[in-house]
A = this chain, B = another copy of it.
Amino acid sequence: MQDLLFDFLSKYITLSEDEKKALIDLNIFHSFKKGTVLLKEGQRSKNGYFVLQGCIRTFYNVEGEEKTTAFYTEMEGITPLCVLSKEPSEYYISCVEDCILIVSDPDMELEIFQSFPKFETLCRVLSEELLAKHQVDFDAFKVSSPEQRYLNLLENRPDLLQRVPQYQLASFLGIKPQSLSRLRARIHKSNKV
B128 contacts A69, C-beta separation under 8 Å:
no
Instruction: Please give the count of copies of this chain that the complex contains.
Output: 2
Known: A62-B143, A142-B67. A79 touches B132 (CB 8 A): yes
Q: Name the residue of chain B whose CB is nearest to the CB of A130.
A: B131
Residue-wise, chain A 106-133 has the 8 Å CB interface mask toward B (1 for contact) of 0000000100010011011001111111
In the complex, chain A residues 65-105 whose Cβ is within 8 Å of any chain B Cβ: 67, 69-70, 78-81, 83-85, 90-91
A167 within 8 Å of B by Cβ? no
Cβ distance A172 to chain B, nearest Cβ, rounded Å? 8
A141 contacts B143, C-beta separation under 8 Å:
no
Q: Name the residue of chain B whose CB is nearest to the CB of A81.
A: B132
